[in-house]
């Protein structure tokens, strides 16, 4: 091809590309309309991992739409108190919230099944049930009646059992204790003499410091260190049997969600799943160093005794039986979780358990 022919063809190609770009722009703009939502979190800004989940979600959505879909994140208390996040979203005060469903168990215990209930699944199991066992759809059938739709948007992994002012060795030691405990785990503990209290994250330390409560659970080493509980309640127990794998939800006003373009709806689902994974990964990375710092600062680590765990397990089953008898929706969802729980922990005993146990022994022997 001579020079003149080359220039001619190149010019036509360049003009064609420019024209294609010009023609495509309106279509792109039309498919990414300007949308601005407000999201209220149930968590304070100081907890960068769990509060940060909402910021991660907002970032993913904004980047995927060239900034056309903006979700403005507000910490607990900036618009409504942390424990009213779902209510504000349902009412349309805000379009979205980032919260834990068991905060609202008092309205209906079914709320808690979307997040965590005593002696249920760990984080991997909960995610497996949500994404592949029909959990998301079943929970959204329930949420639809509240004017909401939600998707998993975070998980902390199995939590710690809480901070206590005194040692708790037997069931008798639980008598009369005032403890901040989320969800309806308090209903189980209540049957063993404990007095449950429900407080938002930012209110826990002052209550412990003043002696308004005797014990409190929050999340785990990284978040608990930030809130400083070890300074006023040194006995740090594990595991948090009521939160083996608590799902943090991104919930949306259903009418607002249904009004979005299908592409934005799909994007929110995908961004929530990415946020879900990101939060758990971050906790897994940050907790090991945090637990070492806490022990160095004076935290006294101790497992709950087999007596306490067995008593709590038995009382939890009593509560479940009562709830199943009284609440058909609860029975349906809990039945699904129970069925998968039996299969999940059968399989977990084989490769996962043996591999992890072997590696833990190597770690204790200083070989890893």
Q: What average pLDDT does the segment 25-48 reach?
A: 82
What percentage of the chain carries pLDDT values higher than 90? 86
**Model pTM?**
0.89
> Exposed, middle or buried by CB within 10 Å (0-12, 13-18, 19+), for 348?
middle
Give the pLDDT mean for 245-257: 98
Does residue 132 register a pLDDT over 90? yes
Distances (CA, A) of 324 to 31, 286, 350, 354: 45, 38, 31, 35
Confidence of residue 91 (pLDDT cuts 50, 70, 90): very high
Orientation of helix 52-64 relative to helix 262-296, angle to 10°: 150
Say which residues have a Cβ less than 8 Å from residue 8's Cβ, sequence separation at least 6: none
Q: 44: which DSSP letter?
A: -
Residues 148 and 251: their CA atoms lie apart, in Å, by 6
Q: How far apart are CA 257 and CA 22, in angstroms?
A: 31
- Is the model's pLDDT at 18 over the cut of 60? no
Report d(CA 44, CA 50) in Å as an integer.
Answer: 9
Q: Tell me the pLDDT tens digit for each residue of 136-174.
A: 999 999 999 999 999 999 999 999 999 999 999 999 999
CA distance 198 to 130: 26
pLDDT reported for residue 30: 59
Q: Is the pLDDT of residue 41 over 70?
A: yes
Q: Which residue has the higher pLDDT, 3 or 154?
A: 154
What integer pLDDT is reported at residue 184 of this predicted model? 82
Tens of pLDDT, residue by residue over 262-293, are 999 999 999 999 999 999 999 999 999 999 99
**Which tens digits make up the pLDDT trace of 335-360?**
999 999 999 999 999 999 999 999 99
């Amino acid at each position: 091809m001579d020079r003149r022919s080359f220039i001619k063809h190149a010019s036509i190609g360049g003009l064609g590309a420019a024209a294609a770009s010009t023609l495509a722009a309106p279509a792109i703009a039309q498919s990414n309309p300007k949308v601005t939502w407000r999201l209220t979190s149930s968590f304070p800004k100081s907890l960068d991992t769990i509060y940060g989940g909402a910021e991660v979600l907002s970032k993913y959505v904004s980047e995927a739409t060239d900034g056309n879909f903006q979700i403005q994140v507000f910490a607990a208390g900036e618009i409504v108190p942390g424990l009213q996040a779902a209510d504000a979203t349902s009412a349309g005060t805000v379009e979205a919230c980032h919260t834990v469903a068991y905060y609202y168990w008092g309205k209906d215990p079914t709320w808690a099944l979307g997040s965590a209930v005593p002696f249920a699944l760990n984080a991997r199991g909960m995610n497996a049930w949500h994404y592949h066992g029909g959990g998301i759809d079943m929970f959204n059938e329930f949420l639809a009646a509240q004017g909401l739709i939600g998707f998993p948007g975070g998980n902390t992994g199995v939590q710690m059992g809480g901070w206590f002012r005194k040692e708790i060795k037997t069931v008798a030691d639980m008598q009369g204790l005032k403890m901040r405990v989320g969800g309806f785990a308090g209903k189980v503990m209540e049957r063993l003499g404990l007095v449950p209290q429900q407080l938002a994250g930012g209110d826990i330390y002052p209550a412990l410091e003043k002696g308004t409560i005797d014990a409190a659970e929050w999340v785990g080493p990284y978040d608990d260190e930030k809130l400083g509980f070890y300074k006023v309640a040194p006995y740090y127990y594990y595991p948090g049997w009521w939160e083996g794998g608590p799902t943090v939800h991104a919930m949306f006003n259903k009418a607002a969600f249904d009004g979005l373009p299908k592409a934005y709806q799909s994007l929110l689902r995908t961004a929530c799943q990415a946020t879900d994974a990101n939060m758990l990964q971050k906790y897994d990375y940050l907790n090991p160093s945090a637990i070492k710092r806490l022990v160095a600062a004076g935290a006294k680590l101790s497992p709950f005794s087999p007596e306490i765990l067995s008593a709590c397990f038995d009382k939890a089953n009593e509560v479940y039986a009562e709830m199943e008898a009284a609440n058909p929706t609860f029975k349906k969802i809990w039945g699904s979780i129970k069925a998968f729980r039996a299969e999940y922990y059968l399989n977990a005993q084989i490769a996962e358990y043996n591999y992890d146990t072997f590696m833990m022994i190597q770690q204790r022997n200083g070989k890893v």
